[in-house]
Structure 1
Amino acid sequence: MEIELGAGTVEYTDTGGPGPVLVFVHGLLMDGTLWDDTVASLAGHRCVVPTLPLGAHRHPMRPDADLSLPGIAALLTEFLERLDLREVTLVGVDTGGALVQLVMADGDSRVNRVVLASCDAFDNFPPGLTGKTLFLTGKLSPGLFGLFMQQLRLRAIRRLPIAFGWLTKRGDAVSAGWLRPLLSQAGIRRDAVRMLRAFAATPRILREVADRLPAFDRPALVIWASEDRVMPPEHGRRLAALLPKGKLVEVADSYTLLPLDQQAEFARLVREFTAG
C-alpha cells in the first residue's frame, strides 16, 4: 500500500484486524522487510509497517522534503494521523528507535506504549563504526556516494563492521535486499545524501531529546542486545531508568537488529508487553 504525505509517497503494509495496533519503525538504510518475521509471529495484532525515507525507500521524496531526524519523526507522526491510528504501540530499532524517542518527547497522544530496541541514544549519534562511516559518505556527491555503496553488493563487504557486520549476525540476506533502491535509483541516492547531511548537522539532538523523555509516563519496554557492538548496552539501562514506566530486558546472542537475530524471542517480548 501507499500513502501520499507531505514529504512524498510512503509505502507501508497493514495486516488489518481489530487487535492491538503496533507500528514498526526501521533504521537507517533499511526498509519494512526488517519486521516481516516479527509481524508473522504476531497474529491477532494489527501490525502497520511503513518504509520511511531512510535510504532504502523506493519512491524519491519531494525536493523540499525535510529529511532531518525531526523532519522524518514529523513524517511518522503524520502517518499515524492520516491512518487515524490510536492507542498505538510504537516499536523502533536502530535509528527507528531514535525516531520513536522524538515522538515520545513530543508527547503524541496517539502513542499508548513504546518498545525501544537497541537504538541510537544519548551521545551515540552517529552510532558506532557503521553510523560514522555512513555520515562520512554523506559528504560525497550523490554520484560518488552511489559508487561507494556499490561495494556493498559483495557479501564480504556487507559483513564488515563499517557496514552491516556488527548490526546483525544472521540477517545478511535481508540486508542485501535493502540496498537495491539505493543502487538502482538516482533519486534515492539524492535523498540518502540529503538525509545523512541533515543528520550530521545535529549531533547533539538525542542528548537534548533524552532530557525530555522522563515526561513520557506511559509503559515503555527497552529491549537490548547484550552483545551489541554498535549501541552500548549501558544506553539501554540508562533509557529504562529515565522512563517512569520503563522496563529493561537484555537478549543474548544478538547484535543490534534483534528482529533478525532473535526473531522469536523479540516477538514474544513484544506480545507479552502489549498483552500486559
Structure 2
Amino acid sequence: MLTHVAAHNEKADCMGDPMNSATVSLEEVGGRTLRVAHWRLDEPSDHPPILFFNGIGANIEAVAPLAEAMPERGFIIFDMPGVGESPEPVLPYNPFTMCWTAAQLLDSLGNEEVDVMGVSWGGAMAQHFALQHGGRTRKLVLAATTPGMLMVPGKWSALSKMVDPRRYVDPNYMNEHFATLYGGMTRDTKATARRDHIGRIKPPSPRGYLYQLIAMLGWTSAPALPFLKKDTLVMMGGDDRIVVPANGKILAGLIPNAKLVEFEDGGHLFLLTHSEEAVAEIRAFLDEGEALPEAA
C-alpha cells in the first residue's frame, strides 16, 4: 500500500536540468518512506516505462540525464532508504523486501509491466526483481554489475575507496580519486562528465550507506540465472576498475537470452561518459521485437 506524503516538481537553479521535468515526491511504500521520481508516466507511449535501480549511495539526480535522454519512455526511480532525500532506514532490508517494495510502488503508479534496469549495486537488485517479479518484467538491462558474491573482484585500489562513503561527502576526495575509482576517464571530453556527476551527488547517511552494503551480503543470482527467460542486455566498461568486464561474461553466459556489449574504453560510469553510445544500445535492445504502431 502506498500513502502519499508530499509531492512537488523540483526546479533546479539552471535551465536544462533534467530534474525540471521530473515529478518528485515522498511516498509511503510498504511501510517505508521513499523519495520517488518519475518522468512522462502521464504521457502516451508505445513502450512500457523503465524501472531503474541505482548504484550504491547514488541519488536520483545522478541518473536524471539518462531519464531525459529517452523521452519516448516513462522512467521510474527512487532513492534507497537513507540515500539522497529518502529518510533514514529504521530496519535493514534485503533484495527480497526491497523488490517487493518496488512492486508496491509500481502498483501505486498504475504500471503492471516494466522494463527493468540497474547499474552496479542496482544491477544486482534489478536481477532479483526480474527473478522475483517475472510477470512484471518485460526486458532486463544490466550495466556494470555482477551476479553477487560469485563475482570476479575489482581492483583493490578502487574497491577500498568505493566502500568509503567519503567519496560522496567530500567533493575534493571524489575528484582526486575519480579515475582510480571509476576508470574510463582518460579522454579530455570526460572532464565535463566528471564535474557534472560530482555536482549531482547528495551524500547518503552513514546508516543508509551501511544498510546498502550489508543488504547484498551473501547474495548471488548465479544459481537462478539459467532459469531467467527474459531478454537481457548486459553492458560493461572495458576500463571498469570496480566491476571488471569478466563479470559481464559470467552474466551473459548464465542468462539464456542475453546480449553482451562492452565499451572498450568505458569505466564504471560509462552510462554518463559514453551516454550517446549507451543510450543507442539500450534503445535498440528495448525496441527490438516491439509491435510497430498501426498506420493512421
Across the two proteins, how many residue pairs are aligned to each other?
253
Match of 1:111 among 129, 137, 151: 137
Q: CA shift at 1:73, angstroms?
A: 3.2
**Relative to 1, partners in 2 of residues 1:152 and 1:35: Cα closer, same or farther, differing over 3 Å?**
closer
Quick one: which of 91, 98, 102 aligns to 2:128? Answer: 102
Determine which of 212, 223, 231 is the counterpart of 2:243: 231
Larger helix percent: 1
Aligned to 1:57: 84
Distance (whole Å) between structure 1 residues aligned to residue 210 and residue 230 of structure 2: 35
In the alignment, does 2:251 pair up with 1:258? no
User: What does residue 141 of structure 1 align with?
Assistant: none
Structure 2 portions without partners, runs of 5+: 1-23, 289-296
Q: Is the 8 A contact 1:152 1:158 kept in 2?
A: no
Give the residue type in structure 1 aligned to 2:37.
Answer: Y
Q: 1:140-183 CA distances to partner (integer Å, 9 max, x unpaired)?
A: xxxxx77x96444445434263xx4438663322442454343x
Is contact 1:12-1:50 (8 Å) kept?
yes
Residue 195 of structure 2 corresponds to 173
Residue matched to 2:61: 33
Normalising by structure 2, report the TM-score: 0.74
2:267 partner letter: Y
Matched, 1:10 2:31: no
- Provide the residue aligned with 1:88 in structure 2: 114
Unaligned 5+ segments in structure 1 are 138-144, 183-187
- Residue 104 of structure 1, CA deviation: 2.1
| Percent identity (aligned) | 20
Displacement of 1:239: 0.9
| Alignment-derived partner of residue 142 in structure 1 | none
Deviation of 1:111 (Å): 0.8
AA at the equivalent of 1:189: P
Displacement of 1:232? 2.0
What TM-score does the superposition give when structure 1 sets the normalisation length?
Answer: 0.79
- Aligned equivalents of 1:244, 1:63: Cα separation in 2: 38
2:240 & 2:182 partners in 1: Cα distance? 11
Task: Quote the Cα distance in structure 2 between the aligned partners of 1:29 and 1:259.
Answer: 17
Structure 2 equivalent of residue 268 of structure 1: 280
**Cα pair 1:225 1:252 within 8 Å, conserved:** yes
Q: Structure 1: how far apart are the matches of 2:247 and 2:263?
A: 14
Deviates more, 1:74-83 or 1:255-264: 74-83
